[in-house]
Amino acid sequence: MRGFVFNGPGTPPTLEALPDPEPRPGEVLLRVGANTVCGTDLRIMRGEKTKGVDLGVVLGHEVAGTVAAVGEDVEAYAVGDLCGIVPVLPCGRCRACQGGLEHQCTAASIVGYGVNGGLADLMLVPEIGVRTGRLVTAPVDIPPEHLALAEPLSCCINGLDQYRVDVGDTVVILGAGPIGLLHLQLARLAGATTVVVSDPAESRRAVASELGATTTVDPTGGDLAAVVDDLTAGRGADVAVVCIGRPELVNDALRLVRVRGRVSLFAGLAGKGWAEIEANVIHYREITVVGASNSARAHYERAVDLIGRGLIDTARMLTHRFPLDRASEAIDFVASGEGIKVAVIPDLDHEEGSGHGH
């Protein structure tokens, strides 16, 4: 099999020939159908995210594929099942796991960090991942590259559960990358009647409008705060979601919401994640600030259901596809900021790397 291997921060990953894994008792072997590329993958390669990342690991954590083989004692999965994977493999014993927060497990292994991931032809799901239900079966008619988006969508659902959107709310989304566009769609599904999306890229604002944004703003040329004030008669938005890891957006979000509004710091920041916050805005306006990291199986199952029912427009999200032997090109393309979501599909022909609509 081939695998796209991490060689250390700042060093380009390489596509290498690796031994085909054989599932041991309790394990499941997936034939990867697709792995969508995430901004976190870029942060790992740049050395901005190092905790728990092993040298020599196969990258990729937004994975979907079909079961190729099962080890002894595996009864819940059969060869040919289409599955997505929740990438956090929890210990099941720590206080977080015991409290129903397995995505915050302090001893978790993570696919694409310490467990070989989906930028490969095959992926072995360890026994602990199978035993704790990390593999989620899906309807076989969902294209694997669409199912792979269940992972980022599940993280956004975790965020939505915390910042909450009520029917009739005004929501501001800061950033129209893949995560911002997923939050946009979830906000509309949850009942928001006004969703403002801010992004400097005209192409991404256009996609946001297609996916349900009622207003889009170029923050480099427009006054986002004035737009929100106008839409809410000076009251402020009910919710603001920070979907780009820029420290200055934290204060922007705080100033955009109403008294007792909600702010989600969804995007991670580089390094230690420091941001200077105008804390008195939180204090006097009684603002709720929440974070969100990773997702649990329950979030993932909801994501698969939404994708399966066509309630999240995954087709519009997926703008480019690359074969595995062009994985480096796919990573570079994601880093360029062009397109929306990029999928690496192992069995795609080498010349078939594509743009939207293919």
Instruction: Please name which of 200, 286, 303, 312 lies closest in space to residue 249, comparing C-alpha atoms.
Output: 200
pLDDT at residue 235 tops 70: yes
Instruction: Please name which of 68, 107, 64, 65 lies closest in space to residue 88, comparing C-alpha atoms.
Output: 107
Question: Taking residues 159-171, what's their average pLDDT?
Answer: 98
Considering the segment(s) 2-149+312-352 as one domain, its CATH architecture is Alpha-Beta Complex (3.90)
pLDDT single digits (tens) 171-213: 999 999 999 999 999 999 999 999 999 999 999 999 999 999 9
**Domain residues of the chain, as ranges?**
2-149+312-352, 161-291
Whose tokens are 């079961």? That residue is: 67
- pTM here is 0.95
pLDDT at residue 358 tops 70: no
Instruction: Please name which of 193, 157, 195 lies closest in space to residue 173, comparing C-alpha atoms.
Output: 195
Considering the segment(s) 161-291 as one domain, its CATH architecture is 3-Layer(aba) Sandwich (3.40)
- What is the sign of the dihedral through the CA atoms of 176, 272, 47 and 300? negative
* Cβ proximity of 123 and 116 under 8 Å: yes
Say what the pLDDT of residue 352 is. Answer: 59
Lowest-confidence region among 23-27, 36-40, 234-238? 36-40
Residue 5 dihedral angles phi and psi, to the nearest 5°: -100, 135
* Category of 344 on φ-ψ map: left (φ > 0), alpha (ψ -120 to 50) or beta: beta
* Cβ proximity of 316 and 9 under 8 Å: no
pLDDT single digits (tens) 60-70: 999 999 999 99
pLDDT single digits (tens) 48-62: 777 778 889 999 999
pLDDT single digits (tens) 268-316: 887 788 999 999 999 999 999 999 999 999 999 999 999 999 999 999 9
